[in-house]
Chain A
Amino acid sequence: MENNKMLAMILAGGRGTRLYDLTNKTAKPAVYFGGKYRIIDFPLSNCANSNINVVGVLTQYEPVELNAYAGAGQRWGLDTRGSGVYVLPPSEKDGTKFGVYQGTADAINQNIDFIDEFNPQYVLILSGDHIYKMDYDKMLTEHRNNAADLTVAVRPVPWEEAPRFGIMNTDMNNRILEFQEKPAEPKSNLASMGIYIFDWPLLRQTLIEDAQDENSEHDFGKNIIPNLLNQQKRLFAYNFNGYWKDVGTVDSLWEANMDLINHNDQLDLGDKEWKIYTADIPTLPQYVSRTGKVEHCYINQGAIIRGHVKDSVLFNGVTIDEGAEVIESVLMPGTVVEKGAKVYRAILAEKVKIGANAVVGSPDSKKIELVAADVKGEE
């Protein structure tokens, strides 16, 4: 808190229903990405790299795994004096009924006491399910320079996709004039990334008022931002042009993984100036045996490769046996592809076993196969 008077709150309560079996037992922010990471490593590492010391993680759906994971703040260097990662599931409070978080704004509203304890000047609201690298400190500088009440990070999207997003219409100075939630006829292609910097006293007051409004859905996009616009507050857009991906579907999760092995990988996880931190799992380096062959891959330590792997992302503890073939696929931790099995254009969930000579997916399928249960082999 001493660094920049900004506290971050990560909204990590989403279930991610379009990831199907990947989120049956785990929250979307805990889903694996990029050979060694979980999605929530990105906002947490961005916070750590942006000099933010205190991060609240708002969990709700299947929180146990995520709580245990995010609570270990030392992974991201967020455990020194004055720092911390605080896991904040809905909790019973004096005078209110124990409930769930009703909306994104309600999740923050229910944790006003937590935020007040740190007495921040600014609160950064983040989403726990996006893949990107961003310096929030730069965004804060712009927020201060604009003497803004709220700054919303935006990125240009293709015009034809604009109707799927919250669109910001701005003037020449990036001041937001109008906000359209999923407009049929967008006036701009600047989409909100769900990243907000608020002045805390204003947000605090707005949340308390919103909580009493029975017609409100208690949502930042639907209620809080339109309210502030109506009050003629100073809302500014912060332009972000780097890599950003919402990995909300099986296809987009697969694509984001494949982006890492493309030649023009914009995310660049190897950037020493902006490392993404994650759990440290002690394993040997990746082992490619005499019968193994790897081409055009992204592979973590602890993988054992005795078969042929091409255009794929492999996590720690993956084993690919002799004669097996893995093409254009993402293999999450501990998966095993036994002898002679073939895996094409698929995501294998954690610890899934593909039996000997079994075939999963198809080389020319448009659809990405999600495999969340063991596949029996043939002898």
Chain B
Amino acid sequence: MPNALGIVSFTSPAIFVRGISSYRPVAAFSYVGRYRLVDIPISNMTNSGIQDIQVYTNGNPKVLFDHVGSGRHYNINNKHGHISVIPVMNESMQCEFVSDLAGYYANLDEIEDATNEYVIIAPVNWIYKANFNDLLQNHIDSKADVSVLCCHYDENTKPGNLLNANLIVSDENGAFKEIKRYIGGEATFDVSLDTYILTKVKFMELIKVAHEYSPMFWMTDLINVLTEKGELKVNKIPYNYPVFPILDIKSYYNSNMEMLQERNMAFFNDPNWPIFTRTNDSAPTIYRGQGTAQCALISNGCEISGKVNESILGRGVKVGAGSIINNCLILPGAEIGENVMLTNVIVDKDAKVIHKQEITGYDDNPLYIGRREIV
């Protein structure tokens, strides 16, 4: 069990998912039907034995307070463990342009009070499964100041276009040089999973140093400046398992749909490494009449009377008789009426498709139907 404080970080304004972002912070995005993105880093942490977790969020935190709650459903011991949701905001109570380091600075006292020796920072917009004990050991062995988790890709293996991801640039010896925004062009490259490991002492120091430089410095800015000055040694930890990014609406859609692949499903369907979430006490899903599903992930509480193909359904989705759903991501509580044909569509929470009979998005650009909209 690592003696580490887990920090779930938030995304920069560069990460923007058209439509979905209007209603909630990235951490609260629905994922694979029954999860929210925040469940992934928290589950990696609690499965690794981390019991002290701070979730920073730069959007309306209402839904996260409700979802994260006491943390008991994440297997956090309610006596000697603790999880808190910490909304970040500047003096005028705005959150849009507050950096991660500024958010930590505002919470410096609580970080200082934590008795943990190490800090592990994980983002909400990279889906991966990692044992932080192994990563921490790698960090300790490296004797570096900070370790960063990264994935090596080439043009054929990269998961999506990765625009807006952070690229890790190395020098001629393969050592860490800098982090910059990925815009493509390299034959092979390392992408940062925005996951950092360092001692709490170093973490506190970085937060204070960053505040002196500029309250608008993000972790990546500070790492670049200090590395260039020779004041920071950064260790790259390679990660070689499936990774799904959430960087824009297309990658959000794709990273959900990737879970329909048998090998990806099997990788994440691990009884020894469960993804925890808050239960909704929904009944099992019922298939009525001609209702059926093929190549689909379907949450509980659904009522399916139509055909569902290559799609993901959130909790409590209704699909009416005669309807056909292809390549769609239907978020919890949405209702698809009778004889509706949906292809390549994201239907947000509690929306209803009851009047329009046929809606088709592009294969590479899914159509989005907003929360509580009636189409």
Contacts and interface: CB of A to CB of B under 8 A. Distances in A.
B279 interface: yes
B300 A300 contact: yes
Interface in A298-333: 298-301, 304, 313-314
Contact of B274 (A282, A286, A295): A282
A64 B46 CA distance: 28
B356 interface: no
A293 B290 CA distance: 12
Given A270-B301, A294-B292, A296-B287, A284 B282 contact: no
Contacts of B287: 261, 294-299
Given A280-B73, A299-B285, A290 B294 contact: yes
B285 A298 contact: yes
Q: How large is the interface on B (under 10, 10 to 19, 20 to 34, 35 or more residues)?
A: 35 or more
Interface in B273-316: 274-277, 279, 281-301, 303, 312-313
Contacts of B300: 36, 285, 300-301
Nearest to B282: A270
A316 to B, nearest CB: 9
Contacts of A263: 288
A275 interface: yes
B265 interface: yes
A285 B33 contact: yes
A141 B41 CA distance: 49
Given A276-B283, A288-B296, A294-B292, 14 more contacts: A35-B283, A260-B286, A269-B284, A284-B265, A285-B313, A286-B297, A287-B265, A290-B295, A292-B293, A295-B292, A296-B291, A298-B284, A299-B285, A301-B300
A372 B70 CA distance: 39
B23 interface: no
Interface string B36-80: 000000000000000000000000000000000000110000000
A284 B73 contact: no
A60 B294 CA distance: 45
16 contacts: A36-B284, A261-B288, A282-B275, A285-B299, A285-B313, A286-B297, A287-B297, A290-B294, A292-B293, A294-B292, A295-B291, A296-B287, A296-B291, A297-B286, A298-B284, A300-B284
Interface of B: 32-34, 72-73, 259, 262, 265, 268-269, 274-277, 279, 281-301, 303, 312-313
> Which 4 pairs show the lowest CB-CB distances between chains A and B?
A35-B284, A269-B283, A282-B274, A280-B279
A301 B279 CA distance: 12
A284 B268 contact: yes
Contacts of B265: 284, 287, 304
Interface residues of A, number: 36
A216 B173 CA distance: 91
Contacts of B297: 284-288
Interface string A238-281: 00000000000000000000001101000001100001111010
Interface of A: 34-36, 74, 260-261, 263, 269-270, 275-278, 280, 282-290, 292-301, 304, 313-314
A128 B89 CA distance: 52
A294 B302 CA distance: 14
A283 B294 contact: no
Contacts of B290: 295
Most chain B CB within a 10 A radius of its CB, from A260, A287, A299, A300: A287
Contact of B286 (A261, A282, A290): A261
A142 to B, nearest CB: 28
A292 B294 CA distance: 6
Most chain A CB within a 10 A radius of its CB, from B269, B281, B291, B313: B281
Contacts of B313: 285
Contacts of B289: 296
B283 A285 contact: no
Contacts of B293: 288, 292, 294
B292 A285 contact: no
Nearest to A36: B284
Contacts of A275: 281
A276 B312 CA distance: 25
B296 A36 contact: no
